[in-house]
Amino acid sequence: MTIKEIAQICGVSRGTVDRVLNHRGKVKPETEALILRTIHRMGYTKNIAGKALTVRKNAPVFGALVSSEGNPFFDDVIAGFRKAEEELTDYGVTVLLRTMRGYDVQRQLSLMDELDESGIAVLIVQAINDERIEKRIRALAEKGIATITVNTDIENSCRLCYVGSDYNSGGETAAGVMKLVTRGQANLGIVTGVNTLLGHVQRLEGFERHLKDICPDIRTIDRVSAMDDMEHSYRMTLDMLRRHPEIDTLFVTASGTFGTCRAVIELGRERSMQVVSFDSVPSTMEMMRRGLVRAVICQQPFLQGYQAVRAAFDVLLTGTSKQGEQIIMENQVKILENL
């Protein structure tokens, strides 16, 4: 079934069928009804191979916005963007990347505007979980620009789809790893992340809830926040460990593992401490080789970036399929051997 055949059956031109298919209006209601009926009856679907060739003429630009500055986790996400971009060069696609440091809502808004003004076809964003961001996403949607959230999702928004991990399950997985590492006996210190990021909150909840179930004997001694910052993480851990010499196990819920480890080493407690954390960034890998970090839970950052761009391309080819969908990366346990 092609547009041509539908046009023949309906006794109209292919242009008219195209107008109906793409809601461009300017078609007599009766004609439209006839065409819609025929499309439905024949089970017609648009052929993406044909569509691809016309997409190319527009040279669509995807906007991508992540808080990657000072956070090496996003190097892989960005590499994923680039890989997909490379695969899509023949389709005329480019990815316009904007990066920021930290999670300031005004900053994210202004970069969203900047991308919008560049005439992007789709927005990919590591959204801060804030009402103002949600509103801006809605405004873009009304202009016909779909938004795909990557890595961390935003609640109650009309983003088209989310590409990233299941943080709750990531937290539970961390609890399971903790059981393996500690045998269910530990004095635990927790270093948390950023509480305006939905994912960080869900991860900690998942961890604590599940740990209580499977390791009732693990005592959580203290809890500090690293704010996704190395330096902060270092100082907060140092304080915590000085206050609580009995802590023998650390759980780092977001970035900051290296800072935490530095504090442990500086206090000369490397031998008696074990750390479980997230994401195999280079500095964390170093601490795994050193034996301090026993295992990390990873969320396939490269694939997140790659799939986000592919999903954006899908939007172009097929219109708004994937509406409300979630493209979830599995949580992987990594030890030294499968890094």
Partner DNA sequence: CTGAAAGCGCTTACAG
Could you tell me the smallest distance in angstroms from the CB atom of residue 215 to a copy of itself? 12
The Cα 267–Cα 269 span in angstroms is 5
CB of 214 to a copy of itself, least distance (A): 9
Q: How far is the CB of 306 from DNA (least distance, A)?
A: 24
State how far the Cα of 258 lies from the Cα of 282, in Å rounded to an integer: 9
Contact 27, 50 (CB under 8 A): no
Smallest distance from a copy of itself to CB 152, Å: 19
Among 9, 23, 28, 189, interactor with DNA by CB under 7 A: 28
How many angstroms separate the CA atoms of 267 and 310, rounded? Answer: 46
Residue 249, phi then psi, degrees to nearest 5: -145, 135
Environment class of 52 (CB within 10 Å of its CB; exposed 0-12, middle 13-18, buried 19+): middle
In whole angstroms, give the CA distance from residue 178 to residue 250.
Answer: 10
Q: Work out what residue 111 binds among a copy of itself, DNA, none; the CB cut-off runs from 5 to 8 Å by kind.
A: none
Return d(Cα 233, Cα 259) in angstroms, integer.
5
Report CA Rg, the chain.
24
Map residues 195-224 to x or -, x wherever contact with a copy of itself holds by CB under 8 A.
Answer: ---------------x--------------
Site string for a copy of itself, 157-196 (x = CB under 8 A): ------------xx-xx-xxx--xx-x-------------
From the list 33, 36, 42, 53, which residue makes contact with DNA (rule: CB under 7 A)?
Answer: 53
Residue 136 binding result from DNA, a copy of itself, none, given CB thresholds of 5 to 8 Å by partner type: none
Q: How many degrees, rounded to 5, is the angle at CA 141 between CA 137 and CA 318?
A: 125
Q: Which positions lie near DNA, rule CB under 7 A? A: 2-4, 11-16, 18-19, 21-22, 25-29, 31-32, 46-47, 49-51, 53-54, 56-58
Q: Which positions lie near a copy of itself, rule CB under 8 A? A: 47-50, 52-53, 55-56, 90-91, 169-170, 172-173, 175-177, 180-181, 183, 210, 294-295, 297, 330-338
